[in-house]
């Protein structure tokens, strides 16, 4: 027995949706964002097992699976480990193109955070260069309270 759907070509529609949402960052994420908002300080958590310092902080070490209970203040300077310059404007980007994203390994942290690079000529960006956080004048408790990183 054939079904009428067997004779219908399957069509795929490609579209985009914009979905606003709220996300609770929890106690760990809140403490991280409040320190940036109120004191322009960047904090992470250290694993008691392997000593790794996570920024952004995590509650549990991804290597040792033990709670990271110690808070550690890290520097607002670091090393640009990698970057990309975006020349394509897209409404979901935080800024108009051209803009640059960098992976920044903050001094005192292990691993790197992804953030914007600004106040510089993107053609002069080099991996390994020192960068410094530039904090927003008005801070509201978001990762955008770090406006971007710029060459130090």
* Footprint of Zn ion on 19-48 (CB under 5 A): 47
> What is the Cα 143 distance to its own chain's centre?
7
* Footprint of Zn ion on 3-22 (CB under 5 A): none
Q: Is residue 50 near Zn ion by the rule CB under 5 A?
A: yes
**Of residues 26, 49, 94, 98, which one binds Zn ion by CB under 5 A?**
49
Residues in contact with Zn ion, counted by CB under 5 A, come to a total of 6
Q: Residue 129: which of 99, 114, 110, 150 has the closest Cα? A: 150
CB of 53 to Zn ion, least distance (A): 10
**Of residues 25, 64, 136, 143, which one binds Zn ion by CB under 5 A?**
64
Taking the least distance from each CB to Zn ion, the nearer of 61 and 131 is: 61
Q: Is residue 61 near Zn ion by the rule CB under 5 A?
A: yes
The structure tokens 């260069």 sit at 129
| Integer angstrom CA distances of residue 134 from 43, 58, 91, 119, 149 | 16, 23, 24, 9, 6
Taking the least distance from each CB to Zn ion, the nearer of 72 and 144 is: 72
Task: Give the HSE-up count for residue 132: Cα atoms under 13 Å, Cβ half-sphere.
Answer: 5
Taking the least distance from each CB to Zn ion, the nearer of 67 and 118 is: 67
Q: Residue 109: which of 150, 79, 64, 131 has the closest Cα? A: 79
Beta carbons within 8 Å of 101's beta carbon, 6+ residues apart: 83, 84, 86, 114, 115, 116, 117
CB of 26 to Zn ion, least distance (A): 19
Taking the least distance from each CB to Zn ion, the nearer of 64 and 79 is: 64
Interacting residues toward Zn ion by CB under 5 A: 47, 49-50, 61, 63-64
């Amino acid at each position: 027995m054939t079904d009428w759907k067997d004779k219908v070509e399957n069509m795929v529609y490609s579209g985009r949706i914009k979905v606003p949402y709220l996300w609770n960052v929890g106690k760990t994420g809140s403490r991280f964002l409040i320190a940036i908002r109120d004191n322009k300080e960047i904090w992470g958590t250290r694993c008691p097992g392997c000593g790794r310092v996570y920024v952004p902080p995590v509650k549990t070490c991804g290597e040792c699976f033990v709670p990271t209970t110690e808070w550690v203040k890290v520097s607002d300077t670091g090393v640009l480990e990698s970057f990309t310059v975006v020349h394509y404007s897209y409404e979901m980007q935080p800024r108009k193109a051209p803009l640059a994203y960098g992976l920044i390994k903050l001094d005192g942290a292990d691993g790197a955070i992804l953030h914007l690079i600004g106040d510089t000529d993107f053609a002069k960006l080099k991996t390994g260069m020192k960068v410094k956080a530039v904090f927003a004048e008005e801070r509201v408790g978001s990762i955008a309270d770090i406006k971007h990183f710029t060459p130090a």
